[in-house]
Every structure is written in structure tokens, then in C-alpha cells.
């Protein structure tokens, strides 16, 4: 068979038999973190278009996208044509140039815009194509900063337990998710993990202030134990996604982390791949929680995921130090870093976000989302142990043994409940959200919808969750 024939055969299937697409994907597409059952027996949804907060499968069935793609479609699905015009114009003018000793308008203007939005002296932007790549760049920038200052012993990093920072080797090493990292060990040398800010299952009666004191005490003791002069940076998400919408226990948690970094000469990196560009109702989660990092890593929302783009925003001090050092440059490069078409899409995305007041929308509606989800939690108190989060990023933690705050193995273990009852109920309801079983064995249901969600959309989202929880508990007999 020639290439031409093969192409025609596939396109015939694309146009004539839409359901053939799932089989084509199962046969040829290697999917992200996708279990074998999806390639074999399970139904594989094929989404073909989107509108506002919804996507539609090839059979025309609508799903409410309670996850904004993957925490990234800030604008929802309605602005593709407008962003597309900017993309087309850029493709016509200059489809590609590098940022290797040259610049072009989209990268320069986008870097300027990001510097304007970012807190404090974070004025320098290195572009990448996604979140993991951004964290790789931050790792190397932190190392090079310390080497340049004559502190080359600072090679280690501290991250938080259960956190996710990407899948490339450096970023994966930062991960506190044991299952993601352990089969690929040995990884990058010298990453240790401190407790995250999860309060559910902290000792009964412990106040938020006591949790913060415990966490800061533990962090300082880890720094001292590792040897403060061996640590390059601490990396934390302002709101930790993995583990389920983990927020700082008190407003002084992050300032406390900042103070420890200053005390011991350690850089603070905020991984804002999810929290950046509005998810918490501020442009950046670090500003939202009142702390100043030395670097922010970003991706996802910068272009509402309409194009792949990420990067590191670094302080003037870091970049000046590196540029004034013996090498005279940041020793890192990516062919597609600052791709003009992706930067043009991001500039248009930010313009639309400002014009439509998208970040303000999150700030305004976040309390209403909290109320509506709290109603769902109380309607399903038999299985909801905790509801937490901030902005448009919320998580239900499900338990059956409320005293132990755990999902009991009997009569139905967590895996069977999720696979056999909850996931089918969500699919039946037409709701996309993230369901995971956390490191402690409890199911987590996460919602992180498009930031253009309205009050009516929130009502719909809450209604769909209620419907899915009702159906799942009924079929499971809980």
C-alpha cells in the first residue's frame, strides 16, 4: 500500500464512519497515562468540537468540561476563531524564527506583557512549550544562578509530597507522586519532599495556625538536615493540584516559606502551571497568596491551551547574575522556545481575558461555586469526607468510614467504586472531571472548569455532580 492509499483510506474512515475514529486511535495513538483497558475493551470518547464550557463527541453528545481540558482552557471553547485569526496572521507574516540571539514581535511583546502581569521584579521570561519543560528550565536556571555566585554546592531541591511537576527526568524528580517516579529511579540527584498542606486527616483539634507552624518547622528541619548550603531551590504550587486542591492553611504559610528561603539563601520557585493566568481569581497564585517567588513556571492557561506554550518568569536579579557570570548566557535552549505562532496565540488570549474580565469573573463567582459545591457535599454526606479548594479549582475527597476519614475496603473498595460506579455515572451525566484515587487510597473528584463559567454554568455543574453522585451511590448500594 502506498502512502497515498493509506492516507485516502484513513480519510475515508474519518468522513464516512465517525465511530471508526476510536478504533484508529486505539490502534495507532499512544495516549497519556491511559490504561490498557482503554485501548482494548472500553469505550474511547472522541471529541470533535467545543463551545463555551462544553465539548461534543462525534455522535453530537454534549459533555460539560468540568476540567477545562486539563486545567488549561481558561477561555473555554468559544474563542478559537478569534485566536485563530491572530495565528493565521502570524503564520502569514513569520511562521517561525528562533529566540537564539534574535527576537521577533510576538515573543518580545508577550514577554513584556507577562512581566507586566507578574508580581514584583519578575521581569524576565524564558519560553518553553509546556509545564514540564518550564520546570526543567527553572531547575537549570537555579543551578546556574548558584554556580555563578560561587555556591556550586547548591544542587538539591525541595518539593512537596504528592505534588506533580511533569514527566521529563528533572521535573519528574521533583514529583512527590511515588507511583509516577519510582519505576524510573534513580532520578535527578538530591530531591527531598516535605509535607504538603493537606489538613484533612491532620490530628483532631489541630488549628490551621498549628498546621502552618508544623509545616514550617518540618521544612526548616529538612533544610538543616540536608545542609542549607546544598539546596538550590524549593518548588511549590500556590495551590497544589495533586492530592486535591491543597491550599495554604493560613495566610502566613507562604510568607513563612519565603522567610526560610531568605534565611538560608535558597530560591523559591512557584510552579504556576495550573494556578497561573487566573485560576484562583488573580493573575498569579503567588500574588493571590501574598508571596514573592524568585521564579514562576507557567504553561497551560497562558494561551488557554489553544497553542502549546510555557515558560519561566525569573527575577531581574537571577537573570542579571547569570548574564554577568563567566559564561555570559543562560546555558539552556529549546528550538520552539518562544515560537512566534504560540506567542501570538497567547497575546490574543491575554487580550481576550482582559477584555472579557475573565480573572475578575473567577474572583466574583468563586464564593458562589464554593456554596453550590458545599450543597452537593451536604446532599452526599454519606460519601463526601472533605470539600476543599479555592477559585475555580475544587476537590471532593470521598470516604465511607468518616471516623477514620478513609474509604473502607468493604463492602466496596475505592477502585471498584470509581471504575464500576462513579466513572460510569459521570459519563452518563455528561460531566468531564478528574477522578483519581489519592496516595492514601481515597477517591478524589476534582473540578477545574473554564474560567468563563457563569452562574448558570455553576448551577449546571453542581447539578451534574449531584446527579452522578446520586447514581453512583445508588448503583453501588451505599
Ligand X SMILES: Cc1ncc(COP(=O)(O)O)c(C=O)c1O
Q: From residue 271, give the alpha-carbon distance in Å to each of 193, 245, 384.
A: 15, 14, 29
Region of 13-21, 107-115, 128-136, 285-293 interacting with ligand X (CB under 6 A): 128-136
Instruction: Please identify, using beta-carbon distances, which residue of 126 and 407 lies nearer to ligand X.
Output: 126
Instruction: Please identify, using beta-carbon distances, which residue of 22 and 236 lies nearer to ligand X.
Output: 236
For ligand X, which residue of 119, 130, 243, 276 counts as binding (CB under 6 A)?
Answer: 130
Residue with cell string 468559544: 78
Beta pairing partners, 233: 157, 267
Instruction: Please identify, using beta-carbon distances, which residue of 311 and 443 lies nearer to ligand X.
Output: 311
For ligand X, which residue of 271, 294, 397, 438 counts as binding (CB under 6 A)?
Answer: 271
- Binding of residue 131 to ligand X (CB under 6 A): yes
Report the alpha-carbon angle 424-429-432, nearest 5: 80
* Rounded Cα gap, residues 308 and 466, in angstroms: 34
DSSP label of 167 = S
Where b means 16+ CB within 10 Å and e means fewer, 35-59 reads eeeeeeeeeebbeeebebbbbebbe
DSSP label of 15 = H
- Binding of residue 448 to ligand X (CB under 6 A): no
Report the residue number whose CB is nearest to ligand X: 131
* Rounded Cα gap, residues 419 and 35, in angstroms: 12
* Rounded Cα gap, residues 154 and 132, in angstroms: 21
Instruction: Show contacts with ligand X in window 98-117 (CB under 6 A).
Output: none
> 237-266 mask for ligand X (x: CB under 6 A)?
x---x-------------------------
For ligand X, which residue of 69, 106, 132, 293 counts as binding (CB under 6 A)?
Answer: 132
Nearest approach, Cβ of residue 302 and ligand X (Å): 11
- Binding of residue 126 to ligand X (CB under 6 A): no
Instruction: Please identify, using beta-carbon distances, which residue of 305 and 383 lies nearer to ligand X.
Output: 305
- Binding of residue 273 to ligand X (CB under 6 A): yes
Size of site (CB under 6 A) for ligand X:
13
Nearest approach, Cβ of residue 60 and ligand X (Å): 29
Nearest approach, Cβ of residue 260 and ligand X (Å): 21
* Rounded Cα gap, residues 478 and 476, in angstroms: 6
- Binding of residue 170 to ligand X (CB under 6 A): no
| 103 contact partners, CB below 8 Å, separation of at least 6 | none
The answer to whether 263 touches 290, Cβ cutoff 8 Å, is: no
Instruction: Please identify, using beta-carbon distances, which residue of 124 and 300 lies nearer to ligand X.
Output: 300
Region of 203-211, 267-275, 330-338, 380-388 interacting with ligand X (CB under 6 A): 267-275
For ligand X, which residue of 50, 69, 119, 166 counts as binding (CB under 6 A)?
Answer: 166
Instruction: Show contacts with ligand X in window 275-304 (CB under 6 A).
Output: 299
Nearest approach, Cβ of residue 297 and ligand X (Å): 7
Q: From residue 15, give the alpha-carbon distance in Å to each of 29, 45, 58, 361.
A: 19, 17, 11, 39
Residue 474 burial class via C-beta count within 10 angstroms: exposed 0-12, middle 13-18, buried 19 and up: exposed
Which helix (H) or strand (E) is 48 found in, with range? strand 47-51
Residues binding ligand X (CB under 6 A) = 130-132, 135, 164-166, 237, 241, 271, 273-274, 299
Amino acid at each position: 500500500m502506498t502512502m497515498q492509499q493509506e492516507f485516502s483510506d484513513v480519510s475515508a474512515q474519518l468522513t464516512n464512519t465517525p465511530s471508526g475514529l476510536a478504533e484508529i486511535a486505539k490502534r495507532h495513538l499512544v495516549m497519556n497515562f491511559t490504561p490498557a483497558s482503554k485501548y482494548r475493551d472500553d469505550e474511547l470518547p472522541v471529541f470533535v468540537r467545543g463551545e463555551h464550557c462544553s465539548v461534543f463527541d462525534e455522535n453530537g453528545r454534549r459533555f460539560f468540561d468540568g476540567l477545562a481540558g486539563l486545567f488549561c482552557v481558561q477561555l473555554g471553547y468559544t474563542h478559537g476563531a478569534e485566536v485563530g485569526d491572530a495565528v493565521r496572521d502570524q503564520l502569514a507574516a513569520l511562521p517561525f524564527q528562533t529566540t537564539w540571539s534574535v527576537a521577533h514581535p510576538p515573543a518580545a511583546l508577550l514577554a513584556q506583557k507577562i512581566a507586566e502581569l507578574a508580581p514584583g521584579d519578575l521581569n524576565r521570561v524564558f519560553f518553553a512549550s509546556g509545564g514540564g519543560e518550564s520546570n526543567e528550565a527553572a531547575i537549570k536556571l537555579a543551578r546556574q544562578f548558584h554556580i555563578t555566585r560561587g555556591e556550586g554546592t547548591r544542587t538539591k531541591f525541595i518539593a512537596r509530597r504528592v505534588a506533580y511537576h511533569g514527566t521529563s527526568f528533572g521535573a519528574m524528580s521533583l514529583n512527590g507522586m511515588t507511583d509516577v517516579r519510582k519505576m524510573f529511579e534513580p532520578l535527578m540527584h538530591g530531591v527531598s519532599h516535605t509535607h504538603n498542606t493537606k489538613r484533612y486527616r491532620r490530628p483532631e483539634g489541630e488549628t490551621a495556625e498549628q498546621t502552618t507552624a508544623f509545616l514550617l518547622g518540618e521544612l526548616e528541619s529538612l533544610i538543616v538536615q540536608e545542609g542549607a548550603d546544598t539546596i538550590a531551590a524549593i518548588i511549590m504550587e500556590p495551590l497544589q493540584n495533586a492530592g486535591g486542591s491543597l491550599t495554604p492553611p493560613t495566610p502566613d504559610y507562604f510568607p513563612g516559606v519565603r522567610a526560610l528561603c531568605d534565611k538560608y539563601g535558597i530560591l523559591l520557585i512557584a510552579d504556576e502551571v495550573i494556578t497561573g493566568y487566573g485560576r484562583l481569581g488573580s493573575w498569579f497564585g503567588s500574588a493571590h497568596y501574598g508571596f514573592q517567588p524568585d521564579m514562576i513556571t507557567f504553561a497551560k492557561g497562558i494561551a488557554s491551551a489553544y497553542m502549546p506554550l510555557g515558560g519561566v518568569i525569573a527575577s531581574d536579579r537571577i537573570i542579571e547574575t547569570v548574564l554577568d557570570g563567566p559564561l555570559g548566557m543562560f546555558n539552556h535552549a529549546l528550538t520552539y522556545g518562544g515560537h512566534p505562532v504560540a506567542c501570538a496565540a497567547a497575546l490574543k488570549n491575554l487580550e481576550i481575558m482582559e477584555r472579557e474580565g475573565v480573572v475578575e469573573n473567577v474572583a466574583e463567582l468563586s464564593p458562589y461555586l464554593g456554596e453550590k459545591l458545599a450543597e452537593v457535599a451536604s446532599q452526599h454526606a454519606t460519601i463526601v469526607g472533605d470539600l476543599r479548594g479555592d477559585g475555580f479549582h475544587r476537590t471532593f475527597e470521598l470516604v465511607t468510614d468518616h471516623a477514620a476519614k478513609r474509604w473502607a475496603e468493604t463492602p466496596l473498595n475505592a477502585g471498584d467504586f470509581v471504575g464500576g460506579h462513579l466513572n460510569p455515572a459521570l459519563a452518563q451525566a455528561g460531566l468531564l472531571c478528574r477522578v483519581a484515587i489519592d496516595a492514601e487510597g481515597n477517591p478524589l473528584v476534582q473540578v477545574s472548569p473554564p474560567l468563563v463559567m457563569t452562574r448558570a454554568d455553576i448551577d449546571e455543574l453542581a447539578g451534574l455532580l449531584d446527579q452522578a453522585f446520586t447514581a453512583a451511590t445508588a448503583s453501588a448500594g451505599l
